[in-house]
A = this chain, B = another copy of it.
Amino acid sequence: MIKAAVLGATGYAGEELVRLLTNHSETSIELLVSRSFTGKKISEVYPSLSRVLDKECEELDIDKAAKCDVAFTALPHGASKTVIPSLIEKGLKVIDLSGDYRYDDVETYEEWYGEKHSSPELLKESVYGLPELHREKIKNARLIGNPGCYTTCSILGAAPLLACGIAETKNIIVDAKSGVTGAGRGLALQTSFCECTETAKAYKVTNHRHTSEIEQELSNIAGEKIMISFTPHLIPQKRGILSTIYINLKRESDASELTHIYRDFYKDEYFVRVKDTDSLPETKHVAGSNFVDIGVCYDKRLQRAVVVSALDNIVKGAAGQAVQNMNIMFGLDEKTALSGAGFYL
């Protein structure tokens, strides 16, 4: 059994990790770390876990964590930076759900996060944990920068067109809509029920940090520097990201050819489901599951592809992807604990 520690177990990504790991046949949850709920059972914080996992949350003790094989760090931005080097030193594999270890170069990180990176050498070693693009590197990694929800949805939605060379690299627009779990469990007026039900809004227009992650990966695929418009929106639902992606094409095409390009690109990927040409994804089709659904349309008038991709932001966009990375790192079937259908209802 793989011994797992979850740091930041009582946030939403943490809770979802715990939920997934309790169904994982090859893993035992050895340690739950939560600063806010030290001494409380996880099942007191999330009564849905009662009788399934009544384990107590603890303060972080590196020596205790050292007995584990893998640590999932779902800590607030900044907190992970001090903890992770210690865990790596103790020999754990670490899957970090923050933005700290997702960049190829330290400059991009520092430009978008507005601060120095505290462990640039670890950043260099870390692997961007998007299995559909970096599976081989993930296999041998000690430290994974687990991609976020917007980025996974947007990168996987755009990648095939850039990879095959049909896409213009200018004028790429990613208009993304997110459920409210993406904002985490911290209290804020804008995520209180009466403030965010029955309303929609855009936020951080032109300057959301995830822009840089998407650009990094798409640039790598295209072999040239790509800059995109990325606009996140908050919509009144709990789970789900829907990305609508606009990409001009270099030549005429049609829906059938574009769908074929996607099916071919993802032909070995269990978790990416490319829709038939006449249908489109919805976030409820992926809620609670690790799937990404992608539909592709062609606008003949404008010689433009309109791609719609959907995933569950706290599964494939956080906890599920983290488990998928763990499965790869430990040589397990990648689908372990992740193969099931989500909850349509």
Residues of A participating in the B interface, judged by any CB pair closer than 8 Å: 12, 15-16, 19, 22-23, 46-53, 171, 173, 175, 177, 179-181, 185, 187-189, 191-203, 205-206, 227, 229, 231, 233, 235-240, 242, 244, 246, 248, 270, 273, 279-289, 291, 293, 297-302, 304, 306, 308, 310, 314, 339-345
Q: Complex Cα distance A27/B30, Å?
A: 31
Q: Complex Cα distance A317/B192, Å?
A: 21
Q: Complex Cα distance A193/B315, Å?
A: 19
* Copy total for this chain: 4
Q: How far is the CB of A315 from chain B (nearest CB, A)?
A: 10
Q: With contacts A177-B200, A206-B300 known, what are 5 further pairs, Cβ within 8 A?
A: A49-B341, A50-B285, A51-B291, A179-B198, A201-B308
- Which chain B residue has the least Cβ–Cβ distance from A300? B206
Q: Which residues of B contact A299 (CB under 8 A)?
A: 206, 229
Establish whether residues A177 and B233, one from each chain, have CB atoms under 8 Å apart when the complex forms. yes
Q: How far is the CB of A230 from chain B (nearest CB, A)?
A: 10
Establish whether residues A205 and B175, one from each chain, have CB atoms under 8 Å apart when the complex forms. no
Q: Complex Cα distance A23/B175, Å?
A: 35
Establish whether residues A202 and B51, one from each chain, have CB atoms under 8 Å apart when the complex forms. no
Q: How far is the CB of A182 from chain B (nearest CB, A)?
A: 10
- Which chain B residue has the least Cβ–Cβ distance from A201? B282
A192 in complex: contacting residue of B187, B248, B287, B310, CB < 8 Å: B187
User: Which 3 A-B pairs rank lowest in CB-CB distance, beginning with the nearest?
Assistant: A199-B284, A201-B282, A175-B175
Establish whether residues B201 and A345, one from each chain, have CB atoms under 8 Å apart when the complex forms. no
Establish whether residues A302 and B227, one from each chain, have CB atoms under 8 Å apart when the complex forms. yes
Q: Which residues of B contact A244 (CB under 8 A)?
A: 175, 202, 231, 233
- Which chain B residue has the least Cβ–Cβ distance from A282? B201
Q: Which residues of B contact A341 (CB under 8 A)?
A: 19, 22, 48-49, 52-53
A201 in complex: contacting residue of B51, B280, B291, B314, CB < 8 Å: B280
Q: Which residues of B contact A189 (CB under 8 A)?
A: 185, 187
Q: Which residues of B contact A193 (CB under 8 A)?
A: 180, 191-193, 195-197, 236, 238
Q: Complex Cα distance A4/B53, Å?
A: 31
Q: How far is the CB of A289 from chain B (nearest CB, A)?
A: 7
A/B interface sample: 26 pairs, CB < 8 A: A12-B345, A15-B344, A46-B344, A47-B285, A51-B270, A177-B177, A177-B200, A180-B194, A187-B189, A193-B193, A193-B195, A193-B197, A194-B238, A198-B198, A199-B283, A199-B287, A200-B235, A200-B283, A201-B280, A201-B281, A201-B283, A201-B310, A203-B280, A227-B301, A231-B306, A238-B345
